[in-house]
Structure 1
Amino acid sequence: MTGSEESPSFRLAYVPGVTPAKWVRIWNERLPDIPLTLVQVSAADAPDVLRAGEADAGLVRLPVDRTFFSAIPLYTETTVVVVPKDHLITAADEVTMADLADEVLFHPLDDVFDWDSPPGEPAFERPATTPDAIELVAANVGLLVVPQSLARLYHRKDLTYRPVTDAPQSSIALSWPEEATTDLVEDFIGIVRGRTVNSTRGRTQPPAEQKQKRSEPKSSESKGTRQKPARKSAGRTTRTRATGGGTRTAGSKQAPKRGKPRRRS
């Protein structure tokens, strides 16, 4: 290797709400010599980061441009409404969109849902970011519908949330440019899909090692060496067995026993 060549590394982009810690830990265990660098990006900027080659793959929110990106869906999040802790909605375990019809719902500019505007009363303006909308919810100005991971990420002690059963949902996927499916990308795909180290679909063994295993001779036990069966004679197969006075041969007549002649009187 020349001094101008760079050491291999893997750059993983991820959007707010995603927690890649488990996959990063497995990567470090399996590929300790190849550092993994995390690149945090907004959901809106993630496609541009991947297109520009600033990350090798990304944990992004669907949908993505399937004409350019490959994507493996990982999970779909529960949608919740963020409310003050003393709000009437907290009396229910879950709500529907109809329950929010009379509420002011914020629609931040970085909203991850694909809708023109949330149902309910529109806010006087659109907050620039989801954290800004969270601050307005804390000020009792309105409510916010978000994926559950974002509600947890921007958690405040004076706020809580409830699941919205019929709201749109957001899905997380592993995505990367289809034309840039490198060996390291394949390694990370194996990790997020739960493949083991010895999986035949992953890059678990160098080709030389696989070839060596195929060329190893089988042991004598695996060849199944068996004794040849006893040869048959022209007549009957001869077998011997021990007797009190010697041996007997199967298929042959035993000579009659001759005792002492009786003395005549």
Structure 2
Amino acid sequence: MSQESPQPARPAVPPLKIFYVPGVTPGKWIARWTDRRGRALQALQADETQVLEDLRSGAADLVFLRIPEDGFERPSDLHAIPLYREQPVVAAAKDHPLSAFDEVQATDLAGENIMDAGELGTAATALEVVASGAGLLILPMSVARIHSRRDVLTRPVHGVAGTRIAVAWLQSTEDPDVEEFIGIVRGRTANSSRQPSAQGEPSKKVRKSTAKAPASDSRAAGGKGAGKPGKAGQGKPKAGKPGAGKPSRRRPGKGRG
């Protein structure tokens, strides 16, 4: 008695891997992805200095990164879409005179020691130095909120170079789910013709208009009564008002009969 050979198991599809820098909150996009797609998704926070390396090494399929508001040059091997501008804030020790203001201009900081966050290491370390009173620090509001401290105050600052959050992925990627997720980030609906998952499926709008086409054609051919069997005068226009569609026969000076 012959036995059927077992079918080889299909390889499991790995999760879509998304890395994001501190200050980015991708939860709303992940929720929409979960509602639409069956593929698992893995989201991890990454170091700002390493996030592009993670993308190029294949550790991430796409990344959310921080770029300068002006003057950003996209690397030739990447696609990148700027998403939104971040509000910069100035951080100072709690007893600093900035506590008297709700927000400040860059010119208000003249003469202050503005420290470089990159030279101080992590944002948490930089804010610890700020708390000591050694100087001020300008950073994105979202990052300042993550590392907020009771001994440090922050105020929105205007007139300084800002930052933007962008999403980036490799130009060489062939994974359609990367484009699917990018569409979600850009606000496309599940039925958008630009979404890979919706391509090849007729849209609801097309199906609806196609269903109505025969009725529209019959009305154009013979009016309201066209296409209904068993009625006298089929295809003939209904009688309207006397003289409708014909030149008036009334003589000048005569009233209506």
**Under a length normalisation based on structure 2, what TM-score does the superposition of the two structures give?**
0.74
Give the aligned CA root-mean-square deviation in angstroms: 2.7
Tell me which amino acid in the other structure corresponds to 2:53: D
Tell me which amino acid in the other structure corresponds to 1:75: Y
Paired-residue identity, %: 36
Alpha-carbon displacement from aligned partner over 1:212-243 (angstroms, at most 9, x marks no partner)? x77x9746535435425339xxxxx9xxxxxx
Residues 201, 19 of structure 1: alpha-carbon distance in 2 compared, 3 angstrom cutoff:
same
Partner of 2:52: 47
Q: Aligned partners of 2:73, 2:57: CA distance in 1, in Å? A: 15
Match of 1:221 among 201, 215, 234: 215
1:243-262 equivalence runs, <5 A: none
Tell me which amino acid in the other structure corresponds to 2:146: L
Matched residue of 2:158: which SS? Answer: coil
Is the 2:127–2:137 contact (alpha carbons within 8 Å) kept by the matching residues of 1?
yes
Match of 1:136 among 129, 132, 137: 129
Q: Aligned partners of 2:105, 2:199: CA distance in 1, in Å? A: 54
Tell me which amino acid in the other structure corresponds to 2:94: K
Matched residue of 1:72: which SS? Answer: strand
Partner of 1:210: 202
Q: Aligned partners of 1:102, 1:108: CA distance in 2, in Å? A: 18
Q: Aligned partners of 1:129, 1:87: CA distance in 2, in Å? A: 22
Match of 1:70 among 79, 84, 97: 79
Match of 1:184 among 177, 190, 195: 177
- Does 2:27 match 1:21? yes
Tell me which amino acid in the other structure corresponds to 1:193: R
Matched residue of 1:176: which SS? Answer: strand
Q: CA deviation at 1:199?
A: 1.1
Is the 1:27–1:191 contact (alpha carbons within 8 Å) kept by the matching residues of 2?
yes
Tell me which amino acid in the other structure corresponds to 2:112: E
- Count the aligned residue pairs: 213
Matched residue of 2:202: which SS? Answer: helix
Q: Aligned partners of 1:78, 1:29: CA distance in 2, in Å? A: 31
Unaligned runs of 5+ in 1: 110-125, 232-236, 238-265
Is the 1:106–1:142 contact (alpha carbons within 8 Å) kept by the matching residues of 2?
yes
- Does 2:139 match 1:146? yes
Unaligned runs of 5+ in 2: 1-6, 227-233, 240-257
Is the 1:47–1:64 contact (alpha carbons within 8 Å) kept by the matching residues of 2?
no
1:166-181 equivalence runs, <5 A: 166-180=159-173
Residues 56, 8 of structure 1: alpha-carbon distance in 2 compared, 3 angstrom cutoff:
same
For the pair shown, the structure with the greater C-alpha radius of gyration is 1
Q: Aligned partners of 2:129, 2:154: CA distance in 1, in Å? A: 15
Q: CA deviation at 1:90?
A: 1.9
Matched residue of 1:210: which SS? Answer: coil
Tell me which amino acid in the other structure corresponds to 2:179: E
Q: Aligned partners of 1:217, 1:68: CA distance in 2, in Å? A: 43
Q: CA deviation at 1:149?
A: 1.0
Structure with higher helix content: 2
Where does structure 1 differ by over 6 angstroms across 4 or more consecutive aligned residues?
Answer: none
Residues 100, 181 of structure 1: alpha-carbon distance in 2 compared, 3 angstrom cutoff:
farther
